[in-house]
Amino acid sequence: MRQVRSIWNGAISFGLVSIPIKLVNATESHSVSFRQIHTEDGGRIRYRKVCELEDREVAQAEIGKAYEDADGTMIPITDEDLAQLPIPTAKTIEIVAFVLADRIDPLQMDAAYYLSANGVPAAKPYTLLREALKRSQKVAIAKYALRGRERLGMLRVVDDVIAMHGLLWPDEIRVPEGVAPDTNVTVRDKELDLADALMDTLGEVDLADLHDDYREAVEEMITAKASGEHPATSPSPAPGAKVLDLMAALEKSVREAKESRGEEPDAKESDGTETGAKAEVRRISPRATPKQTPGKKSTSTATKKTTTAKKSQSQRQSESPASASASAKKSTRTTKKTTATKSTTTAKKSPAKKATPRKRTA
């Protein structure tokens, strides 16, 4: 295992127990860094520390620190001034309380460090604190000083190591005013059911399987340019479409998530209907029957008569002879009445012939 350089040496104050430790960075950045150059000739752009009064570059040994007052006055602050401040946490991680982990707001999480036991005598008290944290299932809240300021920290156990997360002070967390939507939005149960189905379909993931695609693409581009090759171009992502139908978008998301995981969507999903809740589907009304021409009206009437006759025959077969006789008489009267009515209607519809004017004799 490679040795990692410590960035701070001190001790954990656990009541009257002091545990010598070394502070080691728990994270590292893999981002690709770039240098500034002059675009005309490729020359490096460098920054030099220049004194405004003497207009000359100064060495690091000549540089100190100062506090700028509101009127622009510089108040020099030396390392001796800072060292004399009454801060008990200058070289100590002072544990002030033990709380449950869910008491810590993730918004407060800052940089992470590993605490390494510094020397053989520190192994016993270090292990004692580690096992006490494990058994209590709590985390320790501590105060410590690092890089010129006092900080808040949280100690917890990671594998067999005590880790410390830097925490922001409570007054450094902004209140989320004006961030949430300022309009009243109603979410239906069907939409929540689909959102739950999408969450279940996406499932869990092993964070170790996730990687930085952008960084890999940048490294491939740099390698190609360094070898004189033309870097490969990737297709531009499709612009996001406006979500006109939230239900349809959720249904499609569930289907695509299942397909990406190698699962076959349900029959309802493949048809575009929702899983877990039925979506509102508007049925297309059938086309209206075209208007018939006057010449075809008799055909429709004949069809109607045939249907009525069949229906009357079926009724007669199911009725008793007496009822059948009565029905026959009633049907005959109805038929005559209908025929008479139709004849009258037809007569009204047919245009009357113009009477030829009679010649008047003198």
pLDDT in tens, 85-106: 877 777 899 999 999 999 999 9
* Mean pLDDT taken over the chain: 76
334 vs 243: CA distance, rounded Å: 61
Do 194 and 144 have their domain in common? no
Q: Please check whether residue 260 lies inside any domain of the structure.
A: yes
198 in the same domain as 98: no
pLDDT reported for residue 178? 87
Instruction: Tell me what pLDDT residue 149 has.
Output: 84
| Residue 297 included in any domain | no
What's residue 2's pLDDT?
Answer: 60
Q: Are residues 152 and 272 in the same domain?
A: no
Buried b (16+ CB within 10 A) or exposed e, 89-109: beebbbbeeeeeeeebeeebe
Residue 96 lies in a domain: yes
Reported as a single tens digit per residue, the pLDDT across 228-273 is: 888 877 766 666 555 557 778 777 877 777 777 677 666 554 444 4
In a domain, 101, yes or no: yes
Asked whether residue 123 is domain-assigned, the answer is yes
Write out the residue range of the structural domain in which residue 259 sits.
188-202+245-278
pTM listed for this prediction: 0.60
Whether 134 maps to a domain, the answer reads: yes
* Helices 189-202 and 246-260, axial angle in degrees (round to 10): 20
- Are 139 and 167 part of one and the same domain? yes
Binning pLDDT at 50, 70 and 90, where does residue 146 land? confident
Number of domains within the chain: 2
| CATH number of the domain bearing residue 99 | 2.40.290.10
> Does one domain contain both 112 and 14?
yes
Q: What does the pLDDT read at residue 237?
A: 65
Res 327 pLDDT > 50:
no
Q: Are residues 192 and 258 in the same domain?
A: yes
User: Pick the residue with more confidence: 296 or 215?
Assistant: 215
> Of 24-38, 127-141, 295-309, which range is least confident?
295-309
Question: Residues 249, 195: contact at Cβ < 8 Å?
Answer: no
- 280 token code pair: 């509102």
Could you tell me if residue 195 is inside a domain? yes
- Give yes or no: residues 108 and 24 share one domain: yes
Position 121 pLDDT exceeds 80: yes
Listed residues 278, 300, 322: the one ending a domain: 278
Cα 199 to Cα 15, 106, 194, 202, 268, distances in angstroms: 46, 22, 9, 5, 18
Same domain, 123 and 271: no
**In terms of domains, do 118 and 261 share one?**
no
Task: Check residue 252 and give its pLDDT.
Answer: 80
Instruction: Please indicate, yes or no, if residue 255 is contained in any of the structural domains.
Output: yes
> 157 and 91 in one domain?
yes
Give the pLDDT confidence score for residue 141 in this predicted structure: 97
198 with 142, same domain: the answer is: no
Residue 183 is predicted with a pLDDT of 87
Clarify whether residues 162 and 123 are in a common domain. yes
